[in-house]
């Protein structure tokens, strides 16, 4: 037994003595120590016995390792290996989650806090920390027995994101299809599609499966469905069909499952402290500051469970007022089933959330009148929900206090929170923010009107941008010079610049590419995303800054990356005479290295000919601007860092992707910049020897499409380097408005007699109050917003290279065309992680 455990046991035993028999004196102290030692010996023996019984138990295998093994098997066409390892990865991830929930719940139940009945603060503190130590010990033992060493289960954010996006099911649907287990293939495909509704290939696959013999409707099931959400949706369906008695069973079950899921979600919040925004090496809070920071973070997470449980997998926005909505459905379902007692109970419970709700108070009066005062007098609300509300309000008060005193951000997820809980200063601040948001919204509306013509043009041929933008503006820096303009490059909206950065800066950026970049960065860990003959490694601006924050690389190096990208942006904005500012859409330092032994008779391209903001169909000589292309991109640029490699020239081609119109030979400090539309198809010739490095940059004229990582990078630069060094913001940057509640305060009234109960949903029988106060009757039937997911970093690295020839031909086998994809999932690229579909062919 370690010293820390001995100390904890001694403290525990001594504290028990202090709680029950506090009589100061040396004899008691000696007795307490002796008693503690005897207890420790007994507990130590029990622990040894437990260890012996665990000797043969293997620790839970980390699910990230199994996921990696499954991906390796996938690229070997080992479909059984894919299924075995990917299913185990999903099972072990679920087992890890269950173990953490069980241990935290069990230890919280066993080790409850209690305050010693003493006037001495010392003993109260010791009692509190004694319980903390016992809980920590309980968790360590419980998780150790179930999971093995804690270090086994440190899962990277990238892998966690893959499971959050259900990428494993993409692999599984292909593997099951290959071994002709259609029912499982269909279930895996449907499960993946539920959180990726814009994935075109998977949509085609599902349509294909529907036409296959032997596939049943029951096979299309969500394997990751939440029990409370499924029960709620089924209850709402039955309610809408006016099958009220049947709907009650599902809605009551949804409530029961909701509170189970809520308890699990809250238990998972009690994890390690998230140092996001801090350099943990420099974090020097004292005892109570550290406790406060961690505890407030945990409380914020627990409050956010409200949002987490109200989100459906196919929608980003949660169902508003999810818990009160259950009660609203139930009160009217019970009324239609003539169960007035339960109708009263649900109505009174709903009024705990909204005590001044006029419609619900009218319903309550009606139910009481029908049932009679004698029977209805003793009926009250549900105690478990009253406890839930009371606990939630206490947490909100603490979080609002932390917001007011310490500046900790807290966004209340509930609309029912009484105003009395919100601090007066915060209410005044929120009012000012709402007014500011309204003003900004108006300004944005005016701005959008001004650029409406530009937005319309972006849906047409990108070449028409030439009519609005002129070349040849100032270069801003004396060292920068134009080597070739658009005419010399045989195209439009193109330019080749030299002297953008110095040789020393190129060397510093090369150092960054080797010190901070990781294989497959931006490509979901795939080291060879475009060709098996080359390996890619990369790093983003934000990642580099965070590595500097941790002390992994020098601050000046990551700051150089940040400054260089901004310098290129300013040059391009000026040279092409932009009437509106350019914003970063994506930035990536990437190096591609030729794989030795694989270059003989090589005939492929390092990156096939493509267009940055539309889907190039070289056979049809067209490039439609539509999803999944990155239609928001307006300009592209590549800053080269070296020339000591072979091959790797950047090429412009005609829209047929065959005739080369210009070629650029990379070298340090050289930039090739161009508009991102169909007027500039481009690609990269094979790198046959050495390593080719460059900074790939994409820009947008649409301020709403500005890269979120860049905004975080701006904030981090400000924090690390101070306001005096912060770059001036773009003139066109538009502050995003603070979300406001657009619901009407005027509740529509029902003109029927007041003695008839009112449902919040039906417009023909019931009050229309619901339409302005709450979600639609059946949230699951609302039209999909169609929000397009952010572009995958795996697709972002698209431009590169240069030297110059005319009229050259690209060999036919080197051209990647955008042919109509068959719906049969018969190639590995279908499941090649959750990347935009232009990179996946079925």
Active site residues: 692
CA 573 – CA 675 distance, rounded (Å): 11
Closest CA to 576 of 660, 453, 492, 501: 492
Q: Is the peptide bond before 748 cis (omega within 30 degrees of 0)?
A: no
DSSP category for residue 56: T
Structure tokens at 810: 């690209």
CA 69 – CA 76 distance, rounded (Å): 11
Closest CA to 792 of 314, 69, 198: 198
**CB neighbour class for 141 (10 Å; exposed up to 12, middle 13-18, buried from 19):** middle
Q: Is 247 helix (H, G, I), strand (E, B) or coil?
A: helix
Q: Is 300 helix (H, G, I), strand (E, B) or coil?
A: helix
- Residue bearing tokens 């037994």: 1
In angstroms, what is the C-alpha Rg of the chain?
32
Beta carbons within 8 Å of 733's beta carbon, 6+ residues apart: 581, 583, 703, 706
Find out whether 757 and 367 touch, Cβ atoms under 8 Å: yes
- Residue bearing tokens 């925004």: 277
| Greatest Cα-to-Cα distance within the chain, rounded to the nearest angstrom | 101
**CB neighbour class for 120 (10 Å; exposed up to 12, middle 13-18, buried from 19):** exposed
CA 772 – CA 752 distance, rounded (Å): 19
Closest CA to 801 of 666, 680, 695, 698: 666
Beta carbons within 8 Å of 636's beta carbon, 6+ residues apart: 612, 673, 674, 675, 676, 680, 696, 697, 698, 699, 798, 799
Closest CA to 561 of 596, 588, 599: 588
Q: How would you classify the pairing of strands 494-498 and 671-675?
A: antiparallel
Cα–Cα distances in angstroms (integers) from residue 132 to residues 12, 14, 108, in the given order = 10, 15, 10
N-to-C CA span, the chain: 58
At residue 635, φ and ψ (nearest 5 deg) are: -140, 150
Cα 63 versus chain centre, distance:
20
Q: Using the Cα atoms of residue 264, residue 270, residue 271 and residue 273 in order, give the sign of their dihedral.
A: positive
Angle at 116 between CA 110 and CA 119, to 5 degrees: 165
> What pairs with residue 647 in β-bridges?
687
**3-class SS letters over 378-401:** CCCCCHHHHHHHHHHHHHHHHHHH
**CB neighbour class for 23 (10 Å; exposed up to 12, middle 13-18, buried from 19):** exposed
Structure tokens at 490: 């045989």
Find out whether 535 and 592 touch, Cβ atoms under 8 Å: yes
Helix 121-147 with 79-110: angle, nearest 10 deg: 160
């Amino acid at each position: 037994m370690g010293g820390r455990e001995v100390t904890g046991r001694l403290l525990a035993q001594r504290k028990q003595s202090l709680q029950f028999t506090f009589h100061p004196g040396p004899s008691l102290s000696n007795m307490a120590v002796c008693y503690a030692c005897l207890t420790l010996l007994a507990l130590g023996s029990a622990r040894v016995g437990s260890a012996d019984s665990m000797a043969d138990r293997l620790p839970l295998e980390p699910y990230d390792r199994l996921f990696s093994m499954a991906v390796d098997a996938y690229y070997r066409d080992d479909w059984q290996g894919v299924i075995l390892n990917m299913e185990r990865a999903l099972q072990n991830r679920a087992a890890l989650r269950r173990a953490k929930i069980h241990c935290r719940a069990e230890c919280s139940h066993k080790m409850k806090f209690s305050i010693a009945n003493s006037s001495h603060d010392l003993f109260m503190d010791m009692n509190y920390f004694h319980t903390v130590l016992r809980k920590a010990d309980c968790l360590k033992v419980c998780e150790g027995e179930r999971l093995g060493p804690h270090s086994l289960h440190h899962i990277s954010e990238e892998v966690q994101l893959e499971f959050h996006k259900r990428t494993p099911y993409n692999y599984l649907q292909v593997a099951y299809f290959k071994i002709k287990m259609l029912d499982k293939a269909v279930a895996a495909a449907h499960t993946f599609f539920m959180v990726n509704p814009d994935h075109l290939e998977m949509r085609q696959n599902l349509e294909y499966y529907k036409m296959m013999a032997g596939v049943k409707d029951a096979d299309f099931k969500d394997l990751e469905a939440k029990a409370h959400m499924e029960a709620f949706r089924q209850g709402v369906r039955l309610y809408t069909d006016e099958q009220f008695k049947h709907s009650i069973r599902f809605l009551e079950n949804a409530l029961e499952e909701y509170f189970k899921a809520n308890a699990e979600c809250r238990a998972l919040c009690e994890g390690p402290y998230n140092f996001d925004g801090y350099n943990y090496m420099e974090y020097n809070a004292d005892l109570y500051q550290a406790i406060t920071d961690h505890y407030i973070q945990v409380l914020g997470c627990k409050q956010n469970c409200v949002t987490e449980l109200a989100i459906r997998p196919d929608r980003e926005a949660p169902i508003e007022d999810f818990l009160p909505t259950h009660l609203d459905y139930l009160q009217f379902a019970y009324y239609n089933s003539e169960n007035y007692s339960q109708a009263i109970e649900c109505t009174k419970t709903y009024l705990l959330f909204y005590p001044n709700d006029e419609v619900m108070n009218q319903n309550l009066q009606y139910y009481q009148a029908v049932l009679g005062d004698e029977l209805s007098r003793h009926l009250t609300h549900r105690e478990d929900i009253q406890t839930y509300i009371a606990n939630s309000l206490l947490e909100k008060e603490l979080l609002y206090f932390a917001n007011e005193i310490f500046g900790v951000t807290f966004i209340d997820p509930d609309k029912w929170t009484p105003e009395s809980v919100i601090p007066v200063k915060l209410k005044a601040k929120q009012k000012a923010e709402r007014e500011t948001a309204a003003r900004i919204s108006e300004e944005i509306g005016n701005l959008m009107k001004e650029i409406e013509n530009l937005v319309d043009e972006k849906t047409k041929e990108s070449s028409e941008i030439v009519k609005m933008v002129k070349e040849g503006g100032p270069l801003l820096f004396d060292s920068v010079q134009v080597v070739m303009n658009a005419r010399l490059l045989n195209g439009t909206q193109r330019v080749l610049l030299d002297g953008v950065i110095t040789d020393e800066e190129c060397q510093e950026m090369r150092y960054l590419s080797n010190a901070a970049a990781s294989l497959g960065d931006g490509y979901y860990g795939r080291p060879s995303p475009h060709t098996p003959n080359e390996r890619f490694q990369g790093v983003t601006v934000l990642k580099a800054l965070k590595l500097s924050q941790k002390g992994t690389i020098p601050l000046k190096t990551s700051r150089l990356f940040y400054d260089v990208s901004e310098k290129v942006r300013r040059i391009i904005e000026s040279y092409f005479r932009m009437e509106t500012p350019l914003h970063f859409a994506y930035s990536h330092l990437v190096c591609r290295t030729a794989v030795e032994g694989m270059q003989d008779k090589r005939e492929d391209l390092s990156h096939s000919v493509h267009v940055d903001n539309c889907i190039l169909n070289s056979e049809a000589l067209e490039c439609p601007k539509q999803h999944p292309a990155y239609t928001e991109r307006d300009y592209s640029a590549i800053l080269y860092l070296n020339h000591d490699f072979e091959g790797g020239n950047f090429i412009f081609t005609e829209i047929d992707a065959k005739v080369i119109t210009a070629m650029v030979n990379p070298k340090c400090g050289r930039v090739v910049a161009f508009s991102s539309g169909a007027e500039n198809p481009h690609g990269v010739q094979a790198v046959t020897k050495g390593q080719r490095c460059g900074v790939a940059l994409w820009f947008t004229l649409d301020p709403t499409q500005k890269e979120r990582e860049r905004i975080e990078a701006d904030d981090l630069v400000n924090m690390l380097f101070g306001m005096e060094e912060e770059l001036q913001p773009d003139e066109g940057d538009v502050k995003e408005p603070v979300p406001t509640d657009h619901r009407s305060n005027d509740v529509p009234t029902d003109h029927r007699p007041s003695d008839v109960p009112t449902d919040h949903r039906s417009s023909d029988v019931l009050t229309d109050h619901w339409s302005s106060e709450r979600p639609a009757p059946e949230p699951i039937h609302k039209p999909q917003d169609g929000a397009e997911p952010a572009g995958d970093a795996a697709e972002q690295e698209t431009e590169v290279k240069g030297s110059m020839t005319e009229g050259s031909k690209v060999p036919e086998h080197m051209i990647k065309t955008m042919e109509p994809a068959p719906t049969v999932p018969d190639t590995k690229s279908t499941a090649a992680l959750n990347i935009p579909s232009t990179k996946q062919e079925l």
